[in-house]
Structure 1
Amino acid sequence: MMDEPLKQQTDIARAAALIADPSRARMLKCLGDGRALPAGMLADEAGVGAATASAHLAKLVEGELVTVSRQGRHRYYRLAGPDVSAALEALALIAPPLPVTSLRQSNRASALHRARTCYDHLAGQLGTGLMGALLGQGVLTGHDGVHRPEEAMRDRPASHGHDIRYELTDSGRTRLRELGVDTDRLPPRRPAVRYCVDWSEHRHHLAGGLGAALTSRLFELEWVRWGKAPRVVQVTDEGAAGLRRTLGLTLPR
């Protein structure tokens, strides 16, 4: 008879200690859009020198929050996966705001609130607005998209992102197919429809395989493009018209 696998508790303190350093936290947030970035850029974002950045990144790699790959003489870092991004987003819900001490910081904060990525899907006003449009147009069903903390804690607090069952409708599949999103080809090992609680809007935005596929398609159509700062996304004029025409989403000016 084979021995049962050892049941272990998770070391939350170790993971929290890695995130707790302000410089490492800035680096992790910078990597929050899922792209691989060079060490030099992460050092600039964290406001530290190259040697200090290298030491911080080594700890994040050792702690399996970040992975590293080499391209020529440069090393590129990215988050280890969507679970790391989800953990950072969850912490942002309870974290106090950072003080704004310059116009540059104010502009970046406004841009992040307006439209950003949460790993590989859209967040901010754009992300929650898109979720609302999908619900309003009957593409998704199951909830109204409003985050109610008391309900989440009462129902299934251990299943954040799964406690509310959003479902893709048959008419929604057709609607998305017309937009160029093939819902029959979503990654099989990943939940197709999932949500994240948006830390800036305190509403749900679409995650999971469908959220990633829809976001990728919007980039392909050039309806959205990357902004100058990490994670920031901009909606093009063509994108604003297309989202209004196809999904009934009207974005604030």
Structure 2
Amino acid sequence: MSKHTPSPRSAATGLVGPDLASLAGLLADGTRAAMCLALLDGRAWTATELARHTGVAPSTATGHLHQLVSGGLLAEERQGRHRYVRLAGSDTAEMIESLASHAPLRDTPVRSLTDAHRRRALAHARTCYDHLAGTVAVAITEAMTERSLLTWDYGPALSEAGRVWLRDLGVEDHRPRGSRRAHVRTCLDWTERRPHLAGAVGAALCQHALDDGWVIRRGSSRVVTLTPHGRTLLHDQLGITEETLTSPDTDAF
């Protein structure tokens, strides 16, 4: 995951321990935390875009980004004269999403009807880096569990029936060769406070949902909306109710 500066050696033991305080310090600043949350959409952003998103001056954003890159939470990409940043990897994204799920919810003023619609749409269905999150993702995870496609005997795992189900849908359920990523894991959803599917299987299912037209992205945000095809498929395959699958703000964007 992130490559943080190790803590000094203990004079008594000679051991090097993880510098958790250094990691916490990176996210203790509200602007840096907001940047990391924005980057959960999986895209690469410029410093100017992140400055605009967080409401700070470009020079201030650049300083924060330098700290996040140096601390290993973000990776830098260059294309010609342009500099982009993205989350360092899927494990970093899952860590940030998990921290967000444990953080207290803070009331923020709703500035417009469009803003209210967007918040409800974000809670209903969104991407969390490379997997689905929100009400729909939690419903998928619970339905897979009820149908014994997921087992929880030793943590979340695909059953043989789950492997067959994914294969029949056309979803590859194995990790990319050489990847150390968990095959199946869950994230505690920060809006639902219940787990949704993550790991290599969660990423593969999300990509298939986008490629096969179950969901469509809404603008440049993390919001996705289920299509009629996606609602029908998830209802027929997993028995998820139409009420759960229908966004309250389908026309908000």
Contact 1:186–1:210, Cα closer than 8 Å, also in 2: no
Residue type matched to 1:59 in 2?
Q
Partner residue, 2:24: 16
SS of 1:183's equivalent in the other structure is coil
CA RMSD of aligned residues (A): 2.0
Letter in 2 for 1:24: R
Q: Which of residues 86, 100, 106 is equivalent to 2:94?
A: 86
Task: State the shift of 1:136 in Å.
Answer: 2.1
Of 64, 85, 93, the residue aligned with 1:77 is 85
Q: Secondary structure at the match of 1:32?
A: helix
CA distance in 1, matches of 2:103, 2:195: 18
Q: Point out where structure 2 has 5 or more consecutive residues left out of the alignment.
A: 1-13, 247-253
Kindly, what percent of the aligned residue pairs are identical? 43
1:224 to 215, 227, 247: 215
Q: CA deviation at 1:172?
A: 1.6
Q: Deviations over 1:22-62 (max 9, x none)?
A: 11111110001322222222111111122221111111111
For 1:70 and 1:111, the matched residues in 2 are separated by 33
The residue number in structure 2 matching 1:97 is: 105
How many residues of Structure 1 are paired with residues of Structure 2 in the alignment? 228
For residues 131-142 of structure 1, the aligned pairs below 5 Å read 131-142=141-152
Please say which of residues 199-208 and 97-106 is displaced more in the overlay: 97-106
**CA distance 1:196–1:76, change in 2 (3 Å):** same
The answer as to whether partners of 1:100 and 1:106 remain within 8 angstroms in 2 is no
Instruction: State the one-letter code of the partner of 1:167.
Output: A
Separation in structure 1 between the aligned mates of residue 132 and residue 15 of structure 2, nearest angstrom: 36
1:120 correspondence with 2:111: no
In 2: Cα distance, 1:206 partner to 1:131 partner? 6
Unaligned runs of 5+ in 1: 1-5, 144-163
Distance of aligned partners of 1:237 and 1:72 in 2 relative to their CA distance in 1, 3 Å threshold: farther
Aligned residue in 2 for 1:180: 170
> What residue in structure 2 maps to residue 158 of structure 1?
none
Find out whether 1:204 has 2:195 as its counterpart: yes
For 2:204, the aligned partner's letter is A
- Paired with 1:237 and 1:41, the residues of 2 have a C-alpha distance of 33
Q: Please give the alpha-carbon distance, in whole angstroms, between the structure 1 residues aligned to 2:228 and 2:79.
A: 35
* Distance in 2 between residues matched to 1:210 and 1:142, nearest whole Å: 15
- 1:107 corresponds in structure 2 to 117
What TM-score, normalized to structure 1? 0.82
Q: Which amino acid aligns with 1:223?
A: W
Following superposition, the deviation at residue 184 of structure 1 comes to 4.4
CA contact (8 A) 2:47 2:62 kept: yes
Among residues 183, 189, 198, which one is paired with 2:180 in the alignment? 189
Answer whether contact 2:157 2:185 (CA < 8 A) is retained: no
Q: Which residue of 1 aligns with 2:55?
A: 47
Give, as a single letter, the amino acid of the residue that structure 1 aligns with 2:162: G
Structure-2 separation of matches of 1:204 and 1:45:
28
The Cα offsets for residues 83-115 of structure 1, whole Å up to 9 and x where unpaired, read as 322332232233232332212543332222111
